[in-house]
Amino acid sequence: MNRFAEVRTWPLLAFALLVGLQAIVLTVTLGGYAVDGWLAWVGVASLALTVLLAMAVVSTLARAQARARLAQRTMEEAIDALPASVEIFDAEDRLIAYNRRLVEIYPHMLRHFQRKCTFEDLVRESLARGGIPEARGREPEWLEERRQARGKQLTPLLQRVHDDMWLRIYESRTPSGGIVGVRMDVTDLIHEQQRLAASRAQLRATIESAANGILTLDSGGHVLEANPSCELLFGFTASELQGVHVGMLLGAASATAAPAGATPDIPLDPRSLLGQPREFTARHRSGEALHLQLAIAEVRTDTIHLYVCIVTDLTERKRQEERLRRANELLARQSTTDGLTGVGNRRLFDQLLQTEWQRAIRAGRPLALLMVDIDHFKQYNDCYGHVSGDDCLRRVATLLRSCAGRGGESVCRYGGEEFAVLLVDTDLAGAQVVAQRCLDSVRLAAIEHVGSPVRRSVSLSIGVAALIPQNGEGAHRLIQTADAALYEAKQAGRARLICQQQSA
C-alpha cells in the first residue's frame, strides 16, 4: 500500500517556508518599514516562487491521487483474481469489502452484500434459504454456536453449502477489531476424501470377510494387523498376533501361550518370501499341525513400507490328498493281489514278468521261473471240503513266500491251485535251490492230505526254467519252458521238481 500512496514532502515544506517569508516581507512593506526597493524585489521574487511551488504542490498531489487510485484498483483486481473468496468486516461486524469469488459462491446474497449487512444478518439469510445443510433442523442453536465462535476459531471451519459445495473457512481478527474471512472451495478434496474413505471401507469389509487369512507385516516381518480368518486359523486374537514375527507363526506358534513379544524361532525376512506362493507347516494354538500356503506382496511408498500376506489353509486339502493317496495305494494293491491267499494275482505276475524280462534283456542277466502246482488238489477238496481247500491254498502261498526271498513279492497265484515264482537275476542252479526249498518247506509243514496217492500230506510239483532273455523274443517262452518242466514233474510221479534250461 505505501509503495502506491507515496507522496514527496519537500515541495510542501518549501512552499510553507516561502509562504512564511512572504508574509514577513508583506508585513514589513505594508507596515512602512521598507525604506529601500530591495525588499520589494524580495517580496516579488518570493511571490513568484510561491506561485511556482504551489503549482508543483498541486501537481504532486494530483500524481499522488492517481497513484492511490491505481493502488486501490490493483488491490481490488488482485483480490478479485484470488481463487478464494475474501470478505472484510469492520469492528461492528459489518461487511465493508468483498471480492468477486464471494458473489460467485453466494450469488443470491449479492443484494445483502451491497447493503453492507452484518455477518449475523448474512448468516440468518443463508439459514433461511437452507444454504447451510449441517444446520437444518437446528438453525437457532447453530447460529448461536457460530456467533460464539466468530473470530475465535483456532482451526479453519469446514462447511457444506448449497449444491454440495464444500468450503474451508479461515477467519482472522485485524488489529482494529475487524474480521477478514477467506473461503476456499475444497469440494474436490472432500469428494476425493469421501471416495478414499468409501474404498477404504470396501477394502476393510473385503479383508474382514475374506475366507483366506490376511496379515499385514511391517518391514521387519512383525504382524501389524490380522483379519478374522487369521484369528480362526492360528487360534490367537488379532491383538495377540500383533507384533509377532511371521517366522514365529509359520515355524513354531506356541501351543499354550500367545507368542506376542517372543523372539522368532525361525528368523524370516519377508523379502525372502516374495515371488511365488510357498507352502509352510505351522501350528494352531491347540498344537494341531497346519499346512499353509503363503503369498506375500510388498507395499512401498514414500511414507510406508509393509508387506501383505495372503494365508491359505491347505490342511484339509492335504489330509484329503493323503487319504486319496492311501486309497489309491490300497486299490492298486487290491487290483494286483489275490484275494484268497494275499500273494500277487495273475495280473501282477504278467506285469512283473514283462518288467523283469525287459530289465534282464538290458542287463544281460538270467531270469528264472518256478511253476508250482499242488498235487491232487481235487481230492483234497473232495476230502476236506472247499473251505479247508482254501485254507490249504493260503498255507501253501505263505510257505512259498517265505522260500522265495526278496520279501516274497514275486510269488503269484497263477490260477486255481497253481503258483508262479519269478526269480530275478537267478540262473537254473539258483532256481533249483529255491524250488527245492519250497518242496521241503511244504513237506515239513505236513499238511494232512489223506486222499493223496503220493503221500499222506500235501505235496508240490514244480517246473523250473531259467534263461537269459534276448531281444526280439517274448516272455511267454519262459512260461512255456517252466510249464513243460511242470508237466514232466507231474508225469514223473509228482512231489518233485524238474529243471529245464532253454538255450538262448
Ligand X SMILES: Nc1nc2c(ncn2[C@@H]2O[C@H](COP(=O)(O)OP(=O)(O)OP(=O)(O)O)[C@@H](O)[C@H]2O)c(=O)[nH]1
Going by C-beta distance under 8 Å and a sequence separation of 6 or more, which residues neighbour residue 213?
226, 227, 229, 230, 232, 233, 234, 309, 310, 311, 312, 313
CA distances from 438 to 427, 441, 478 (A): 17, 5, 20
Q: Say which amino acid occupies 23.
A: A
| φ, ψ (nearest 5 deg) of residue 160 | -95, 130
Least Cβ distance, residue 379 to ligand X (angstroms): 6
Least Cβ distance, residue 210 to ligand X (angstroms): 59
- For ligand X, which is the closer residue by CB, 171 or 373? 373
Ordered DSSP codes for 353-367: HHHHHHHHHHHT--E
CA dihedral 375, 380, 386, 390 (to 10 degrees): -50
Which residue's CB comes closest to ligand X? 389
The residues pairing with 183 across neighbouring beta strands, listed in sequence order, are 85, 169
- For ligand X, which is the closer residue by CB, 330 or 340? 340
- For ligand X, which is the closer residue by CB, 1 or 387? 387
Least Cβ distance, residue 493 to ligand X (angstroms): 11
What is the spatial order of strands in the sheet that 157-161 belongs to? 95-98, 85-89, 179-185, 165-173, 157-161
- For ligand X, which is the closer residue by CB, 144 or 390? 390
Sole residue written with cell 508250482 = 372
- For ligand X, which is the closer residue by CB, 130 or 385? 385
Cα separation of 414 and 453, whole Å? Answer: 24
Cα separation of 331 and 486, whole Å? Answer: 33
Please provide the distance, in angstroms rounded to a whole number, between the alpha carbons at the two ends of the chain: 123
Least Cβ distance, residue 463 to ligand X (angstroms): 12
Q: Footprint of ligand X on this chain (CB under 6 A)?
A: 340, 373-378, 381, 386, 389-390, 393, 416-417, 490
Least Cβ distance, residue 339 to ligand X (angstroms): 10
Which residues are designated catalytic? Answer: 417
